[in-house]
Amino acid sequence: MAGLRLGPLLRYIDGSSATVWVEASRPGTAEVRCSDGAGGTARTFQVAGHHYALVPVTGLTPGTAPSYDVLLDGTPVWPPADSPFPPPVIRTPAAGEPLHVVFGSCRWAAPPADGRDPVGPDALDSLAVRVAAGGQRPDVLLLLGDQVYADETSAATRRWLAARRHLADPPGAEVADYEEYTRLYYESWLDPEVRWLLSTVPSCMIFDDHDVIDDWNTSAAWLADVRATPWWQERLLSGLMSYWVHQHLGNLSPADLAADPLYAAVCDAPDGTDELRAFAAGADADPASVRWSYRRDFGRVRLLMVDSRAARVLDERSRAMLDAGEAGWLREQALDHRESYDHLLVGTSLPWLLPHLIHDLETWDAALCRGERGARWARFGERLRRAADLEHWAAFPASFAELADLFARTGSGPAAPASICVLSGDVHHAYVAEPAWPAGSAPGSRVLQLTCSPVHNSVPPTIRAGFRFGWSALARFLGRRLTRHGRCARPPVTWRKRGGPWFGNQLMTLTLHGRSARLRLERARRDGTLETMTESVLTTR
């Protein structure tokens, strides 16, 4: 009899349809049956000996929340009869209702040893407990990167790795192939609270560096060095393949899936491993040939999830966070029928606006690496870039400026949205920052950088002190000295910190209703609850 190995995950949702992702123990037919008669079926597809299905659910009614069961070959497999949680539901949005968007990033999913969690309570566990008890249910959960850590494995995973290969061989205790990536997803998504939460709250995901390796694509020199290792090619292909299966497919609408030739080829093949591997190899050879970014519309809220890792241009003389095709896509999606949305959410794993000293340090370092102060400084800049993780938007000054220009253009004129919010993670703390444009060029929309990280991880006290110092007046003075040394152009915007920094395992919630927007930041407590750290009104009607 087929069993459910992983899932279900409720992924895409609109007023009448949804998708539910599952992994089964053997080939078969997966089915979703809703209590109101809606439902759908899908045959499993196979990759590397694993069997998956993305079930399209149709016939849903806007504004309803039917419970659902998952069946494999006609046998119910979810929810378990002894589940301590309420039945999972597929809640479809209704026009005019507030939209509750929860977001965060960086979830190191290792289970605690002896009940003691080395990085503190998991904010997603706490959210699940509250929702299960009848608390406010998010309409969508945005996971902004580092859903798995390929290069920082837990003790339990290291023991599992040691049982299948010698850890003395590269890449050691890091994951090496597709099978080892599946172990990371089991460790992350079989957590009971998180498994239930992901079965009943729709989720949108995008990768960051640790989904493949720390500082992935930080520079051309970094890429050349890692490509020279004997283990990198298999690691990268496996990372992209597993991301496509576990995360990317669920980001797509049923219509997008139906038009996707790769999805059709994988589903039609007895085993889609070769087709998917060839796709990943093509993405490695020509990153511009693949688009991981995507758009989702939730009523009058538009979400643009942006790939800020794989789409980079790394040539030092023309560095860009997004290649030309990706940048053009982002601009087109932001400007398309602006009158049709009230709020624009731009999800990018890496913050656009950083503490001032860190921004200036990254801009200065980028100038050194492209040779503004000569070859010796360029070599120093590359070493510093890798040692200090200097590879955010500020390290791609032209892309930083292009984003500022796009926000000014999108936020201007009679069709401008009420707010443009950049949602980010990565930096293991939370803050709110607001840019300002020169007189005469400021947009009418309120533009904000909302950064929230980690969901479940830690940051050393020395780094905390550095983040706090980075916003200070002295830090701004030091940063200006660096940028003068690097002959750096001034950024097109200035910005101020409006809140934070806050530390701990945390989540942000945006509540969007009409043209109003509210923000809440909550931190996980050791008693399993979420503590409100701050609440604020961002825009009003």
Of 283, 205, 293, nearest to 21 by C-alpha is 205
Region of residue 145 (phi > 0: left; psi between -120 and 50: alpha; otherwise: beta): left
For residue 540, the cross-strand partners are none
Query: Tokens 């979810």 correspond to what residue?
Result: 78
> Which pLDDT tens digit goes with each residue over 374-403?
999 999 999 999 999 999 999 999 999 999
pLDDT at 378: 97
The residue with greater pLDDT, 369 or 94, is: 369
- Residues 378, 369: Cα–Cα separation, whole Å: 4
Match 């803050």 to its residue by tokens: 431
Q: What is the DSSP letter of 528?
A: S
Q: What pLDDT does 114 receive?
A: 62
Q: Note the pLDDT tens digit of each residue in 306-340.
A: 999 999 999 999 999 999 999 999 999 999 999 99
**pLDDT tens figures, 250-263:** 999 999 999 999 99
Whether the per-residue pLDDT at 454 is higher than 70: the answer is: yes
pLDDT digits (tens, 9 = 90+) for 237-250: 999 999 999 999 99
Residue 446 φ then ψ, to 5°: -85, 125
pLDDT at 102 over 90: yes
Residue 110: per-residue pLDDT: 76
Token readout for 15 is: 């007023």
Q: What does the mean pLDDT of the chain come to?
A: 96
- Cα distance between residue 489 and residue 379, in whole Å: 21
**Per-residue pLDDT at 482:** 97
Which stretches of 325-429 are assigned E, i.e. beta strand? 343-348, 419-424
| Average pLDDT of the segment spanning 201-228 | 97
**pTM, 2 dp:** 0.97
* CA–CA separation, 258 and 237 (whole Å): 24
Report the pLDDT value the prediction gives residue 94, as an integer from 0 to 100: 87
